[in-house]
């Protein structure tokens, strides 16, 4: 008889802007292509190279508000004056299929998910130092000076919230960080198997 499939694991990854979340995730998906990524909705305009439906689903503010009303979101938040939200259906469908799915969301969104899905795995990524974070944000050069200053200020506030996460990964090295996250996921699966 086929065994009933274990439900998938919901993995929430947060960390300040510029900490290297996207680079780590790219490596993580190379190492573990079976992991799924929850593509969020956003009202932010696409950056060069971002593909609609892959990086984000890009929508207008009106569309986003309609999605709030139709209860499409597991969580949503306003970050840097733009709206970002996680599709409840995309997440629930993946979990029901037994797939592990990763959400890359800000700390407000993560706090919401914690209330609705307390058994998710919450991981916060920190930089090796605050100086390095500020430098990385400046070097990225994708924002106007005012937006950059704001991202820097908010990144520092966000960094202070690492203490609310049970798992913290310090991004000294992309390869090491990706492998650390993989080990955390494997350990969580093991914990669940033992509890079952």
> Does 40 sit near ligand 5GP (CB under 6 A)?
yes
Query: CB atoms < 10 A from the CB of 175, how many?
Result: 10
Where does this chain touch ligand 5GP (CB under 6 A) — which range of 24-32, 90-98, 100-108, 180-188?
100-108
Of 114 and 189, nearer to ligand 5GP (C-beta) is: 114
Of 6 and 52, nearer to ligand 5GP (C-beta) is: 52
Please tell me the distance from the alpha carbon of residue 116 to that of residue 127, in angstroms, as a whole number: 28
Of 9 and 74, nearer to ligand 5GP (C-beta) is: 74
Which of 35, 101, 105, 123 lies at the binding interface for ligand 5GP (CB under 6 A)? 105
Of 142 and 186, nearer to ligand 5GP (C-beta) is: 142
Given the structure tokens 């139709």, which residue do they identify?
70
> Does 36 sit near ligand 5GP (CB under 6 A)?
no
Which of 77, 134, 148, 181 lies at the binding interface for ligand 5GP (CB under 6 A)? 77
Which of 85, 102, 122, 159 lies at the binding interface for ligand 5GP (CB under 6 A)? 85
> Does 109 sit near ligand 5GP (CB under 6 A)?
yes
Residues that bind ligand 5GP (CB under 6 A): 17, 40, 44, 75, 77, 79, 84-86, 104-106, 108-109
């Amino acid at each position: 008889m086929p065994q009933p499939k274990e439900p998938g694991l919901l993995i929430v990854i947060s960390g300040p802007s510029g900490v290297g979340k996207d680079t780590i995730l790219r490596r993580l998906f190379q190492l573990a292509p079976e992991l799924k990524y929850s593509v969020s909705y956003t009202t932010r305009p696409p950056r060069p190279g971002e593909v609609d439906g892959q990086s984000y689903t890009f929508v207008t503010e009106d569309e986003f508000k309609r999605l709030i009303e139709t209860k499409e979101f597991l969580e949503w938040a306003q970050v840097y004056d733009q709206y970002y939200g996680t599709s409840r259906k995309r997440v629930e469908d993946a979990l029901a299929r037994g797939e592990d799915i990763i959400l890359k969301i800000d700390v407000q969104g993560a706090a919401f998910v914690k209330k609705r899905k307390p058994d998710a795995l919450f991981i916060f990524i920190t930089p090796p130092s605050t100086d390095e974070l500020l430098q990385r944000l400046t070097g990225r050069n994708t924002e106007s000076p005012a937006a950059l200053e704001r991202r820097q200020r908010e990144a520092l506030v966000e960094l202070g919230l690492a203490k609310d996460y049970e798992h913290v990964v310090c991004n000294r090295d992309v390869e090491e960080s990706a492998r650390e996250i993989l080990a955390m996921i494997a350990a969580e699966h093991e914990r669940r198997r033992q509890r079952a």
